[in-house]
Structure 1
Amino acid sequence: MKIFKYIMCIPLAFIMFCCHEKRESLKIEIYETSANGNKLKQVKEFSSDGDATVIKLSPEKEFQTITGFGGSFTEASASLLNRLGKENREKVLNAYFGEDGAKYSLTRTHMNSCDFSLGNYSYAPIEDDMELKSFSIDEDRDDLIPMIKEAMALSKDGFKIVASPWTAPPWMKDNNDWRGGKLLPKHNETWALFFSKYLDAYKAEGIDIWGFTVENEPLGNDNNWESMHFTAQEMTDFVKDYLGPKLESDGHNVKILGYDQNREHLKEWVDEMYRTPATSKYYDGTAIHWYASTYEVFPEALQYAHDKAPEKHLIQTEACVDAEVPKWQDDQWYWSKEATDWGWDWAPEKNKHLHPKYAPVYRYARDIIGCLNNWVDGWIDWNMVLDRQGGPNWFKNWCVAPVIVDPENDEVYFTPIYYTMAHFSKFIRPGSKRIGLTKTDESLLATACKNPDGSIAVVVFNQGQDDKNLELSLGEKSSNIKISAQAIQTIVIK
């Protein structure tokens, strides 16, 4: 009886503390990139003290299957790699595709030239060549094709490639120009044949193309560089009546992604794309870009697109820090609220609020986490490599890439954006499933995926100026963790 009375006198908080202490710890590895200098550094000390944000995982709740993460093969990037010394060229490609690197699994390239080419070119330059007898990918043999092949040789698991045209050859268009204009109806069949020949030509090089977007930015870009305009109905009619049937009849098993521009117009496009079984038959999904805002993810639009076609892909196919010249070997700039985009100067007044100054790392981390938490299954960055000017770009449309190089001095700079991308691409593998996650601190951003091998990758982003204590909970197990101020962590649960 005395023993019983003694136990009853023990404070409840002490009993709860003891029970908490007895919970089995998770078997985890932690990697952190932070403003204080960590670059995908493995963190060995897991403990934290004080009040903690609770992150609870629910693997029984499954959402989209992940297609992959990566960047884009452009002529600009490939030509720069050709100008580096052998050691640095291999260093960059290994960093993106090697087992010790970011392990990119989903990539993009341009079909015909784009602004990040060295000049305008088409694989079918001869006018009125309706059967495309002159078709040739020779323009890609010096730079693009070697870069892709070297990446393939380094990638243990392989990667998917999405190809996108910026424009048809000018002779197929109503304005006979690289920029703007529309595809002439009389060339619908020839333009569909162009896609098929591109697949065959790359296949002959040993390169399989996983998917196409029908047109990069069909709403246009003010006729600045290669472009061609489609309305949602015009693109859908082209896919339904020409592109889909042609690729099918030629025996090509390739994905077709519609739209391929900013999210604020997503609803009207998916309404048309998936209006009927006939319109949606050849579409395998929707492609999107992030340039409508430096901070807004447009979750309602993403949710709407998913609900419209839940069985189809929703892939972010292009993103970059645009309208900026890269900062060379200045890590802090990428963590500071200094960058602007095209909208800072050019957005209509009613949209100015969507384009404030921002920190590049924040923009990437927030967008990728936001996209994953709203049904996006793939996320592709733009150029993998640019020079200190933010090119080469024939239109002088300077941008930033995760890796900046100085070919004259054979130097390479891995920006914090590179490590930000790797937090996702390296640890969330193709075929993984996003799982349920709840947290007690809304200022902390997080997402979680269960990989095919059974491991779980949790990516957490602390935007604040102070370290935070975390309690990561999975079933009956938990671990206490500390995340640095202004930091991204990937926590891998074995």
Structure 2
Amino acid sequence: MNACINEQNLEVEVYETSANGNKLTKVTEFSTTETRASIKLNPDKTYQTITGFGGAFTESSAYLLNKLGKENRDKIIKAYFGREGANYSLTRTHMNSCDFSLSQYSYTPNEDKELKDFSVKEDMDDLIPMIKEAMVASEDGFKIFASPWTAPPWMKDNKGWVGGKLLPEHYDTWALFFSKYVDAYKEQGINIWGFTVENEPHGNGDNWESMHFAPEEMTNFVQNHLGPKLEKDGKGDKIILGYDQNREGLKEWVDVMYKDEASSKYYNGTAVHWYESTFDYFPEALQYAHKKAPDKYLIQTEACVDAEVPKWKDDAWYWSKEATDWGWDWAPEDQKHLHPKYVPVYRYARDIIGCLNNWVDGWVDWNMVLDKQGGPNWFKNWCVAPVIVDPDNDEVYFTPLYYTMAHFSKYIRPDAKVIDVKVTDDEVMITAAKNPDGSIAVVVFNPTEKLKQFSLALGEKSKDISINEQAIQTIVIVN
């Protein structure tokens, strides 16, 4: 039956996004029966401290915002960074160009070890204005870390944008580049929280900007060049995250990064991506990385629906098992099973919950805004973003992925502690965190085709709640 829920002493607010049309909708009426699962919260048992949730500032996203009318531009910025919106708290951007740039460029195009010509003028038209507008819209503020896809070609052994390695003679030059970047952005009023050392050090199949590092090479660069340089220049507080690629390679990397005190000294944590599989979030690898460096960050730094052109104003597609990824077409035969068709919303919800339940403290999406083609992207590497725009007609589409992200970013705030939670229904996924203000956010993901009912218990207090089929709920327990 449908009935208004009895109070039962546990005061909650419930927000749901579902295939049947809810979009972070506040729910006050629930279906209840005698048969229901149990969810028990134990806030006395805590795990990692949350760093934040968010997305990436890319030149492509910023360029598109500049092509929209002021009303829609402001709407998107507020939707991502306002308290009434997703309230993003952790973000990423790229140093030099990446595939989601309009062209290939470097802040230091001319060979000079002192980098006298260093300039972020390429970012002044689009990228920096977007970041500044986000800073104005964000009442709570957000952290931003930067990632290079490649050093300028003149620093590399192959003299190219794609592939190749950083020449040892330029290790100090490249470390200076990071320091100058911090200063250049500070001059624009933007504080860089930290860095990943290199986006995807295994490369990307030699398709777009990349630069290869072996674990030993990256650790040498961080230990003997980047870390000491930032420290010497008074930037020792900047976070350095190693690795920054798929989780399957984690063990090999963290074994080298955290081999001993000297190798670990300047690494503040580990960065990972999700592209190894469309369904597996690799809990064993995440657990291993945490145990190797339990006091350091473990942050998911990039994820997206890749190798797809966005579906325009078609919510049903995002809830359907229709999406494919790069691995669907060209993964090696022994890895094909990791890349079946998948439901985009499920992939996001499953991965974020799986990460939070396995020591990950931050989760960052890729592009915030793309167009109907899934670009612009100079390599034509089309992808999907939570917000899709049609700049020619000044239209905006908030996909279900936007609301999925907001279920976490809006309600689980920085410095929250992930807490212990037990559920008796193994068909749903659940995670929970206690915020600094004392509130508890519980996120429930029901991928099944049936409504689920459960009793949520915190100590002696409880509340009977139901979640629709194909739905995500955030339950906020207030003080």
- Corresponding residue number in structure 2 for 1:13: none
Question: 2:6 touches 2:463 (CA, 8 Å); kept in 1?
Answer: no
- Corresponding residue number in structure 1 for 2:194: 211
Say whether 1:94 aligns with 2:78: yes
Question: 1:23 touches 1:476 (CA, 8 Å); kept in 2?
Answer: no
- Corresponding residue number in structure 1 for 2:455: 471
Say whether 1:239 aligns with 2:226: no
Distance apart, 1:44 and its partner CA = 1.2
- Corresponding residue number in structure 1 for 2:423: 439
Question: 1:340 touches 1:355 (CA, 8 Å); kept in 2?
Answer: yes
The secondary structure found in structure 2 opposite 1:247 is helix
Choose from 139, 142, 150 the match for 1:159: 142
Distance apart, 1:46 and its partner CA = 4.2
Aligned-partner residue type, residue 242 of structure 1 = H
Distance 2:290 2:167 in 1: 32
Aligned-partner residue type, residue 35 of structure 2 = D
| Equivalent runs, 1:253-272 vs 2, <5 Å | 253-272=237-256
Distance apart, 1:175 and its partner CA = 0.4
Distance 2:274 2:16 in 1: 25
Distance apart, 1:453 and its partner CA = 0.1
Choose from 115, 121, 138 the match for 1:138: 121
Choose from 161, 164, 185 the match for 1:202: 185
Question: 2:194 touches 2:240 (CA, 8 Å); kept in 1?
Answer: yes
Choose from 409, 423, 442 the match for 1:458: 442
Distance 2:73 2:26 in 1: 26
The secondary structure found in structure 2 opposite 1:369 is helix
Distance 2:210 2:202 in 1: 9
Choose from 186, 208, 225 the match for 2:169: 186
Tell me how large the CA RMSD over aligned residues is.
Answer: 1.0
Choose from 66, 72, 79 the match for 1:82: 66
Say whether 1:103 aligns with 2:87: yes
- Corresponding residue number in structure 2 for 1:220: 203
Say whether 1:298 aligns with 2:282: yes
Aligned-partner residue type, residue 309 of structure 1 = A
Distance apart, 1:107 and its partner CA = 0.3
Choose from 124, 138, 141 the match for 2:108: 124
Distance 1:24 1:334 in 2: 36
- Corresponding residue number in structure 2 for 1:15: none
Change (3 A) 1:22 1:344: closer
Question: 1:72 touches 1:381 (CA, 8 Å); kept in 2?
Answer: yes
Distance 2:473 2:36 in 1: 16
Normalising by structure 2, we get a TM-score of: 0.98
- Corresponding residue number in structure 2 for 1:341: 325
- Corresponding residue number in structure 2 for 1:318: 302
Choose from 417, 421, 432 the match for 2:405: 421
Question: 1:109 touches 1:162 (CA, 8 Å); kept in 2?
Answer: yes
Say whether 1:376 aligns with 2:360: yes
- Corresponding residue number in structure 1 for 2:464: 480
Distance apart, 1:50 and its partner CA = 3.4
Distance 2:192 2:454 in 1: 42
Distance apart, 1:391 and its partner CA = 0.1
- Corresponding residue number in structure 1 for 2:37: 53
- 1:244-275 Cα offsets, whole Å, 9 max, x none, are 00000000120000000000010000000000
Distance apart, 1:23 and its partner CA = 9.1
Question: 1:115 touches 1:393 (CA, 8 Å); kept in 2?
Answer: yes
Distance 2:27 2:426 in 1: 24
Distance 2:178 2:84 in 1: 35
Distance 1:178 1:485 in 2: 47
Say whether 1:352 aligns with 2:336: yes
The secondary structure found in structure 1 opposite 2:353 is helix
Distance 1:50 1:262 in 2: 44
Distance 2:256 2:290 in 1: 14
- Corresponding residue number in structure 2 for 1:8: none
- 1:430-459 Cα offsets, whole Å, 9 max, x none, are 000000000101111000000000000000
- 1:57-97 Cα offsets, whole Å, 9 max, x none, are 00000000000000000000000000000000000000000
- 1:9-41 Cα offsets, whole Å, 9 max, x none, are xxxxxxxxxxxx999421000000000000000
Distance 1:232 1:123 in 2: 26
- The 4+ residue runs of structure 1 with deviation greater than 3 A are 21-24
Question: 1:54 touches 1:473 (CA, 8 Å); kept in 2?
Answer: yes
Choose from 162, 172, 185 the match for 2:155: 172
- Corresponding residue number in structure 2 for 1:29: 13
Question: 1:256 touches 1:284 (CA, 8 Å); kept in 2?
Answer: yes
Change (3 A) 1:22 1:426: closer
Distance 2:7 2:199 in 1: 52
Question: 2:6 touches 2:464 (CA, 8 Å); kept in 1?
Answer: no
Distance apart, 1:223 and its partner CA = 1.0
Question: 1:424 touches 1:459 (CA, 8 Å); kept in 2?
Answer: yes
Distance 1:233 1:28 in 2: 50
The secondary structure found in structure 1 opposite 2:397 is strand
The secondary structure found in structure 1 opposite 2:201 is coil
Q: Which has the larger radius of gyration?
A: 1
The secondary structure found in structure 2 opposite 1:113 is coil
The secondary structure found in structure 2 opposite 1:382 is strand
The secondary structure found in structure 2 opposite 1:177 is coil
Aligned-partner residue type, residue 164 of structure 1 = S
Distance 2:6 2:28 in 1: 21
Q: Which runs of 5+ in 2 are unaligned?
A: none
| Equivalent runs, 1:274-285 vs 2, <5 Å | 274-285=258-269
Question: 2:298 touches 2:362 (CA, 8 Å); kept in 1?
Answer: yes
The secondary structure found in structure 2 opposite 1:222 is coil
Aligned-partner residue type, residue 222 of structure 1 = G
Distance apart, 1:470 and its partner CA = 1.1
Distance 1:465 1:251 in 2: 55
- 1:167-198 Cα offsets, whole Å, 9 max, x none, are 00000000000000000011011000000000
The secondary structure found in structure 1 opposite 2:252 is helix
Question: 1:55 touches 1:471 (CA, 8 Å); kept in 2?
Answer: yes
